Structure 1
Amino acid sequence: MNTIITIGRQFGSGGREIGEKVAEYFGIKCLDKELLTRAAKESGFCEEMIKSHDERPTNSFLYNLVMDTYSFGYNASSFMDMPISHKVFLAQFDTIKKAAEEGPCVIVGRCADYALHDFKNCINLFIYGDEETKVKRIMSKYSLTEDKAKDMIVKKDKQRQSYYNYYSSKKWGRADSYDFCLNSSVLGVEGTVKLIIQIIEDFENQNNPGGKA
């Protein structure tokens, strides 16, 4: 097993659960909230600060400055001048790359596919679902009414979309931003997991590149 798997997901699609089950099958780590704890330790930021900016959009005019840091590297002075939201993103960005360099894993959300765009041993997935299925899942998980579940789904997806579109050069949820987009409502969580396992095994057989490009 040599593949890094990134999973973008609609809220309520079961993306995290699917990621955990795929990771369990292959005997590798599934990194989601764990990335925040690690990013805090490695960057020196307070973990609560990292969590408060997790997958949340920003409207800072310093966007282009941050984009430049990916291409040219950031120096101490430009880093100090950045808004805290950008510093938090860069801390997560670095942590994601370090985790991928350590070996195969599943990484959920947080623009991981963009952070790892130069990793040839990476498969990028997006999990979405039918509204009815997502609403039922969220109603059950959080003990919400149907209307509140719908509102929560809309809010969370808007946050994720804004965050992804802001920090990456791609569009959240659009097919050409990923290798595969899968509707988890069609086969259910278990069926979607089986399909992903087949995709990864075929990818391993055909493309085993031996690591980072």
Structure 2
Amino acid sequence: MSTKTIITIERQYGSGGHLIGQKLAEDLDIPFYDGELIKVAAKESGICEEIFESFDEKPTTSFLYSLVMDPYSLGYNSNSFDLPLNHKVFLAAFDTIKDIASKGPCVFVGRCADYALEDFDNCLSVYIHAPFEDRIKRIEDVYEVPSDKSKEVLIKKDKQRSSYYNYYSSNKWGDAKSYDLCLDSSYLGIEGSVDLIKQVIKMKEAQ
């Protein structure tokens, strides 16, 4: 199956969103960007990769932290030196997402990609969720998170993603109105979720 559509995926932690996006990109034979986006954005912006990783889907509003990190030495562009460091990193990722999307179809996971591409007519935004207990089981079995830590880790990760999305986006993380498609990966499974997204892409491109 070929496509002209760009797919963005926001996901609850432990819902399998990364794997669904990866398999979808493989089936469609298009590029996939999750953690890979950090490397591209760092290279394009001149901000070091370690700085991107420290702010990745974690909103940080501390002005003192930005001063300690010496934003003047980080580059990006001469007109943004007065911005907090977390804003510089977000804007660099934002610009990288738009630049990559302008070159053709691909799959983005997280990092407010749906918001960055809201003016792209060929973009399909997807939100992947699953029941709490199913996600706990997944992060214990697949991610090997210890059972005595899994609940704490899951809640923390979801809070980080939600806070990041709500801080930088005009939409609300997890609200059905913010996305074109919301699906329960525990009900559909990984392959079923991929197949459903592909069917929606076909419908969208047939319009």
Is TM > 0.5 for Structure 1 vs Structure 2? yes
Amino acid at match of 1:118: D
Aligned to 1:210: none
Q: How does 1:51-200 map to 2 (within 5 A)?
A: 51-59=53-61, 76-77=78-79, 79-200=80-201
Aligned to 1:38: 40
> Partner of 1:82: helix, strand, or coil?
coil
Q: Deviations over 1:56-112 (max 9, x none)?
A: 012358xxxxxxxxxxxxx844x1101111100000000000110010000000000
Q: Tell me how far apart the structure 1 counterparts of residues 78 and 129 of structure 2 sit (CA, whole Å).
A: 39
> Partner of 1:123: helix, strand, or coil?
strand
Q: Tell me how far apart the structure 1 counterparts of residues 10 and 88 of structure 2 sit (CA, whole Å).
A: 22
Aligned to 2:68: none
Once the 2 structures are TM-superposed, how far is the Cα of residue 158 of structure 1 from its aligned partner?
A: 0.2
1:167/1:60 CA distance change after superposition, 3 Å: farther
Aligned to 1:6: 8
Are residue 17 (structure 1) and residue 19 (structure 2) matched? yes
Q: Tell me how far apart the structure 2 counterparts of residues 59 and 172 of structure 1 sit (CA, whole Å).
A: 19
Amino acid at match of 1:105: C
Q: Tell me how far apart the structure 1 counterparts of residues 146 and 43 of structure 2 sit (CA, whole Å).
A: 38
Q: Tell me how far apart the structure 1 counterparts of residues 102 and 5 of structure 2 sit (CA, whole Å).
A: 11
After TM superposition, which residue ranges in structure 1, 4 or more long, deviate above 3 angstroms? none
> Partner of 1:114: helix, strand, or coil?
helix
Once the 2 structures are TM-superposed, how far is the Cα of residue 171 of structure 1 from its aligned partner?
A: 0.3
> Partner of 2:57: helix, strand, or coil?
coil
Gaps of 5+ in 2: 64-76
> Partner of 1:142: helix, strand, or coil?
coil
TM-score normalised by the chain length of structure 1: 0.87
Q: Tell me how far apart the structure 2 counterparts of residues 189 and 132 of structure 1 sit (CA, whole Å).
A: 17
Q: Tell me how far apart the structure 1 counterparts of residues 147 and 53 of structure 2 sit (CA, whole Å).
A: 27
Gaps of 5+ in 1: 62-74, 207-213
Amino acid at match of 2:85: I
Could you say what the CA RMSD is over the residues aligned between the two structures, in angstroms? 1.5
